[in-house]
Chains A and B, each alone.
Chain A
Amino acid sequence: MRITRCAGKLCKTVFLGLCAIITICPLLFLLSGSFMDSLELSELIAPVIQGKEGMAGWHWIPRYPTLQNIIELLLDSPEFYKMFWNSVKITGTILIGQLVFAMPSAWGLARYEFPGKKQIYFLYIILMMLPFQVTMLSEYLVLDKIQLLNSQWSVILPGIFSTFSVFLMYRFFAGIPEEVLEAARMDGANEWQVFCHIGVPLGYAGIISAMVLQFLECWNQIERPMAFLKQKELWSLALYLPEISTEKAGFAMAAAFVALLPALFVFLYGQDYLERGITATVQK
């Protein structure tokens, strides 16, 4: 009896551990590759990249750790800075835009009854679920008409009005008890004040969740910038990374690692909110 219980526990631990190793291994891979010198790297990956004889391998701890790649990236590659800054600009503007537009939308849908409300909510859910490929052509046509193609606004504006954040904040705003709002109205607060002084602070968790999820989404997005940005100077980091040739594998990995850092930081800092945000889709 005890043996089977031990074996069961072991199986569970192995399963959980194996999953964890697989999910974090790309992170460790980028980390170790960033600190490898070019000789060691090419020795390891040449069979795959250049079709040389032998088999590829990997050292999870570099044999001769070096800062060469990181230094080249930070001191000697203006392109990387440009793309990094582009990503910051695009992602930052989208998030601010969502605070301005999505937050009141979510509040209006969650706390008021008015004709057409149900239909609008349903419309928002459909839009949030549509993959980019379905709306690609329509977005292209409208951006072409207002002459925003090939400018960063072609990525920013559709991003701002993506309805996922509205849905997420709606779920949190809807959970605030009506009595609290009534009490504020009795004290003479108008609807805007109720929203700013009660809705926003009490729905804080939902707002942060939406921001965390949207940050990860925007920071790594590839499809929309690839479709709408022709000029390379406008590109975001996620689009630029695959462009780095595999000849400079160490540099490419260092670039990918640095590009990952902001997302990782947001992830670690906002993990609880991230989980609550994901959870909001299945719970009341």
Chain B
Amino acid sequence: MKSKKGILFILPGLSGVMVFYLIPFLDVAVRSFQKIDGKFCGFDNYQKVLENKAFHLAVENTIYFVLVCLPLLLVLSLLAAVILQRTGSLGKLCKSAYLIPLAVPAAGVVLLWKLIFDNHGMLNQLLLWLGQNTVDYMNTNASFYVLVFSYIWKNLGYTVVLWSAGLSVIPENIYEAAWVDGAGKLRTFLSITLPNLKQTAFTIVVISFLNSFKVFREAYLVAGNYPQQSIYMLQHLFNNWFRELDMDKMAAAAVLLFLVILIFVYMLHRSWEEEH
């Protein structure tokens, strides 16, 4: 309905958003061009951030993390979603099991992760039993994979549900037509299922990318403020700059990260609009 009355509905919420998010962020954006004492300093802060060694390490690790995790998560969850597609109550039970990590607090899993991945842990016991060498997962570069595992563990169910939603809107009669034409299972999957999931896949990629920032909880609880080098992520960097009140660097870095995310969200938004 065309009516200004809509504004009245959104005004209370919008003012809160303005006060707590929008205006302070604009303030931070302004500060990113200033020294701590408030003098304008152009792109100095940005230069400082971009030349910062810890920043390089964190960006590299974060990008690498996303590049490893996303394909792995997408493939595993799609596989599960496709298998679950035409199953009854057993499938529902599986989905519930996959979603449970959403309810488990990070602190609850950290001890288990330690027990599994420690030098004297259960995984190494298995390796010994198989006649392999043990790996100290917590204190070497292998800690990266502990984090990858945490991420997959946490997000698998969420992503399976998203894929299932995408699968459920593919019209059944396309499949039937393909079967009548004698197409095999693999063939139908490749030429019907996959092409029809393009839209869903894009949304899932963006959402999973943004969820990857939340893996910080597990990383932080397992390894503290200064973890092993290979899992020093952007989130650690932000957290450390925050604790040291490195305002100028932090403001510039926040704006940079914001811009990267803005690009992703814009693309997602465009694809949603096209859908309508």
User: Footprint of B on A, CB under 8 Å?
Assistant: 12, 15-16, 19-20, 22-27, 29-30, 33, 45, 47-49, 51, 54-58, 100-102, 104-105, 107-109, 111-114, 117, 120, 122-127, 129-142, 157-158, 160-161, 163, 166, 178, 181, 191, 195, 216, 219-220, 222-223, 227, 237-238, 241-242, 246, 249, 252-253, 256-257, 259-260, 263-264, 266-268, 271, 274-275, 278-279, 281-284
CB distance from A216 to the nearest CB of B (A): 5
9 shortest A-B CB distances, which residue pairs? A112-B6, A108-B9, A241-B107, A105-B13, A138-B24, A131-B213, A47-B120, A161-B16, A108-B10
Tell me if B180 is interfacial: C-beta within 8 Å of chain A: no
B53 within 8 A of A: no
Q: Which of A54, A104, A129 has the most CB of B within 10 A?
A: A129
Which residues of chain A are near B106, meaning CB under 8 Å?
220, 222, 238, 242
Cβ contact within 8 Å between B111 and A134: no
Residue numbers in A under 8 Å from B257 (CB-CB): 131, 133-134
Contact partners of B97 in chain A: CB under 8 A? 19-20, 23-24
* CB of B235 closer than 8 Å to a CB of A: yes
Nearest residue (CB) in B for A265 is: B103
Chain B, interface residues (CB within 8 Å), range: 35 or more
Do B6 and A26 touch (CB < 8 A)? no
Indicate if B35 sits at the interface (CB-CB under 8 A). no
Once the chains are docked, how many angstroms separate the CA of A30 from the CA of B105?
11
Closest to A12 in B: B83
CB of A27 within 8 A of CB of B14, answer no
- Whether A157 and B16, one on each chain, are in contact in the complex, defined by CB atoms closer than 8 angstroms, is yes
Digitize B30-54: 1 where CB-to-A-CB distance is under 8 Å, 0 elsewhere: 0000000000000000000000000
Q: Which of B64-72, B140-148, B187-195, B200-208 contacts A (4 or more CB under 8 A)?
A: B200-208
Q: Chain B: interface secondary structure?
A: helix
- A207 and B103 CA atoms in complex are apart in Å by 19
> B203 — nearest CB in chain A belongs to which residue?
A282
User: Are B98 and A23 touching (Cβ within 8 A)?
Assistant: yes
Give the chain A neighbours of B261 by CB distance below 8 A: 126, 129-131, 134
CB-contact partner of A19 in B80, B103, B121, B269, under 8 A? B80
Bound CA span A130–B22, Å? 12
Closest B residue, CB atoms, query A239: B107
B1 x A48 contact (CB < 8 A):
no
Q: In the complex, A72→B203 CA distance in Å?
A: 47
Per-residue CB proximity of B102-128 to A under 8 Å, as 1/0? 111111111110110010111011001
Q: How far is the CA of A101 from the CA of B27 in the complex (A)?
A: 24
Determine which residue in B94, B108, B207, B276 has the highest number of CB atoms from chain A within 10 A of its CB, and name it.
B108
Q: Give Cα A122–Cα B261 distance, bound, in whole angstroms.
A: 13
A220 (CB) vs chain B CBs: closest residue? B105
Given A48-B114, A56-B115, A126-B262, check contact A105 B100 (CB 8 Å).
no
A12 / chain B contacts, CB cutoff of 8 Å = 83
